[in-house]
Chains A and B, each alone.
Chain A
Amino acid sequence: MTSFDIVFGSFLVSALRSATPLVFVLVGETLVQRTGSINLGVEGQMLVGAMAGYGAAALWGDPWLGLVAGAGAGMLLSSVHGLLTLAARANQFASGLAVWMLGFGLSAYYGAGLVGRKIEGFGTWRGAGLDDVPVLGPIVAGMTPTVLLALVVAPAVAWWFWRTRTGLVWRAVGESPEAARAAGLRPIRVRLQAILLGGLLSGLGGAALSVDHTRTWAEGMTAGRGLVAVGLVIVARWNPWWVLPTALLFGGAEALALRLQTADAGVSAHLLLTLPYITSLAVLTLTCLRDRGQAAPAGLRAVMDR
Chain B
Amino acid sequence: MKLHRLVRPLLAAALALGAHAAHSQTIGYIYVGPEKDYGYNTSHDLGRQYVEKTVSGTKTLHVENIPETAEVSRVMERMIKSGASIVFATSYGYLDYAIELGKKYPKVAFMHAGGLKTGDNVGTYWANSDDAIYLAGMAAGSVTKSGKLGFIAAFPIPQVVRSINAFTLGAQAMNPKVTTTVVWTGGWLEPAKEAEATNSLVDAGIDVIGEQVDSPITIAQTAEKRGIFVVGKDVDVSKFAPKSVLTGASWNWGPTMVKVVNEIKAGTWKPSHIRGDLKDGTVVLDPFGPAVTEPVRKTILAKKADILADKFEVWSGPMMAQDGKELLPAGKAMPMDMLESMGFLVKGVIGTIK
A interface residues, Cβ below 8 angstroms from B: 6-7, 10, 14, 17-18, 21, 108, 112, 115-116, 118, 121, 124, 138, 142, 209-210, 213-216, 218-221, 223, 225, 254-255, 258-259, 261-264, 266-270, 273
Among the interface residues A18, A112, A213, A214, which one has the most CB atoms of the partner chain B within 10 A? A214
Considering the chains assembled together, what is the distance between the CA atoms of A264 and B183 in angstroms? 9
- The answer to whether A258 and B197 touch across the interface, beta carbons within 8 angstroms, is yes
- The answer to whether A214 and B37 touch across the interface, beta carbons within 8 angstroms, is no
Q: How far is the CB of A214 from chain B (nearest CB, A)?
A: 4
B196 sits at the interface (CB 8 A): yes
- The answer to whether A273 and B204 touch across the interface, beta carbons within 8 angstroms, is no
Known: A220-B189, A262-B206. 7 other contacts (CB 8 A): A115-B37, A216-B191, A261-B181, A261-B200, A269-B156, A269-B186, A270-B354
Q: How far is the CB of A49 from chain B (nearest CB, A)?
A: 14
Considering the chains assembled together, what is the distance between the CA atoms of A17 and B65 in angstroms? 28
- The answer to whether A17 and B217 touch across the interface, beta carbons within 8 angstroms, is no
Considering the chains assembled together, what is the distance between the CA atoms of A51 and B208 in angstroms? 30
Considering the chains assembled together, what is the distance between the CA atoms of A220 and B214 in angstroms? 12
- 5 smallest CB-CB distances across A and B, nearest first, come from A269-B184, A219-B34, A273-B186, A214-B191, A10-B203
Considering the chains assembled together, what is the distance between the CA atoms of A267 and B184 in angstroms? 12
- The answer to whether B200 and A255 touch across the interface, beta carbons within 8 angstroms, is yes
Chain A residues in 8 Å Cβ range of B214: 218
Contact of B192 among A10, A225, A266 (CB under 8 A): A225
- The answer to whether A14 and B196 touch across the interface, beta carbons within 8 angstroms, is yes
Q: How far is the CB of B238 from chain A (nearest CB, A)?
A: 12
Among the interface residues B187, B192, B196, B350, which one has the most CB atoms of the partner chain A within 10 A? B192
Q: How far is the CB of A51 from chain B (nearest CB, A)?
A: 12
Considering the chains assembled together, what is the distance between the CA atoms of A264 and B194 in angstroms? 18
- The answer to whether B184 and A261 touch across the interface, beta carbons within 8 angstroms, is yes
Chain A residues in 8 Å Cβ range of B34: 108, 112, 115, 218-220
Chain B residues in 8 Å Cβ range of A116: 36, 38, 217
- The answer to whether B199 and A121 touch across the interface, beta carbons within 8 angstroms, is no
Query: Closest residue to A21 on the B side, CB-wise?
Result: B192
- The answer to whether B222 and A261 touch across the interface, beta carbons within 8 angstroms, is no
Query: Closest residue to B354 on the A side, CB-wise?
Result: A268
B147 sits at the interface (CB 8 A): no
Q: How far is the CB of A251 from chain B (nearest CB, A)?
A: 9
Considering the chains assembled together, what is the distance between the CA atoms of A270 and B155 in angstroms? 9
- The answer to whether B225 and A121 touch across the interface, beta carbons within 8 angstroms, is yes
Chain A residues in 8 Å Cβ range of B222: 214-215
Considering the chains assembled together, what is the distance between the CA atoms of A159 and B228 in angstroms? 42
Task: Name the interface size band of chain B.
Answer: 35 or more
Considering the chains assembled together, what is the distance between the CA atoms of A21 and B201 in angstroms? 22
B interface residues, Cβ below 8 angstroms from A: 33-34, 36-38, 65, 150, 156, 181-187, 189-197, 199-201, 203-204, 206, 214-215, 217-218, 221-222, 225, 239-240, 350-352, 354
For this complex, 7 residue pairs linking A to B, each with C-beta atoms less than 8 Å apart, are A10-B199, A14-B199, A215-B225, A219-B189, A255-B196, A262-B181, A268-B352
- The answer to whether B350 and A258 touch across the interface, beta carbons within 8 angstroms, is no
Contact of A221 among B36, B184, B185, B189 (CB under 8 A): B189
Q: How far is the CB of B174 from chain A (nearest CB, A)?
A: 22
- The answer to whether B189 and A223 touch across the interface, beta carbons within 8 angstroms, is yes
Chain B residues in 8 Å Cβ range of A112: 34, 36
Query: Closest residue to B199 on the A side, CB-wise?
Result: A14
- The answer to whether A115 and B181 touch across the interface, beta carbons within 8 angstroms, is no
- The answer to whether B191 and A218 touch across the interface, beta carbons within 8 angstroms, is yes
- The answer to whether B195 and A213 touch across the interface, beta carbons within 8 angstroms, is yes
Knowing A209-B192, A264-B181, A268-B352, the reply to whether A218 touches B199 (Cβ < 8 A) is no
Considering the chains assembled together, what is the distance between the CA atoms of A138 and B196 in angstroms? 15
Considering the chains assembled together, what is the distance between the CA atoms of A27 and B245 in angstroms? 38
Q: How far is the CB of B272 from chain A (nearest CB, A)?
A: 34
- The answer to whether A213 and B37 touch across the interface, beta carbons within 8 angstroms, is no
Considering the chains assembled together, what is the distance between the CA atoms of A291 and B352 in angstroms? 41
Knowing A209-B191, A216-B221, the reply to whether A262 touches B183 (Cβ < 8 A) is yes
Query: Closest residue to A142 on the B side, CB-wise?
Result: B199
Contact of B351 among A108, A255, A264 (CB under 8 A): A264
- The answer to whether B195 and A214 touch across the interface, beta carbons within 8 angstroms, is yes
- The answer to whether A218 and B215 touch across the interface, beta carbons within 8 angstroms, is yes
- The answer to whether B218 and A262 touch across the interface, beta carbons within 8 angstroms, is no
Considering the chains assembled together, what is the distance between the CA atoms of A221 and B352 in angstroms? 26
Knowing A218-B37, A219-B37, the reply to whether A258 touches B203 (Cβ < 8 A) is no
Chain A residues in 8 Å Cβ range of B215: 218
- The answer to whether A219 and B218 touch across the interface, beta carbons within 8 angstroms, is no
Q: How far is the CB of B299 from chain A (nearest CB, A)?
A: 29
Considering the chains assembled together, what is the distance between the CA atoms of A88 and B234 in angstroms? 48
Contact of A215 among B193, B201, B218 (CB under 8 A): B218
Query: Closest residue to B353 on the A side, CB-wise?
Result: A269
Contact of B186 among A7, A14, A270 (CB under 8 A): A270
Q: How far is the CB of A258 from chain B (nearest CB, A)?
A: 5
Contact of A18 among B196, B218, B221 (CB under 8 A): B196
- The answer to whether B192 and A214 touch across the interface, beta carbons within 8 angstroms, is yes
Chain A residues in 8 Å Cβ range of B185: 258, 273
Q: How far is the CB of A264 from chain B (nearest CB, A)?
A: 5
Knowing A218-B34, A261-B183, the reply to whether A254 touches B193 (Cβ < 8 A) is yes
Contact of A138 among B203, B218, B350 (CB under 8 A): B203
Chain A residues in 8 Å Cβ range of B65: 219-220
Considering the chains assembled together, what is the distance between the CA atoms of A7 and B187 in angstroms? 26
Considering the chains assembled together, what is the distance between the CA atoms of A103 and B192 in angstroms? 19
Q: How far is the CB of A6 from chain B (nearest CB, A)?
A: 7
Chain B residues in 8 Å Cβ range of A263: 204
Q: How far is the CB of B39 from chain A (nearest CB, A)?
A: 9
Chain A residues in 8 Å Cβ range of B218: 214-216, 218
Q: How far is the CB of A232 from chain B (nearest CB, A)?
A: 15
Contact of A262 among B33, B37, B156, B200 (CB under 8 A): B200
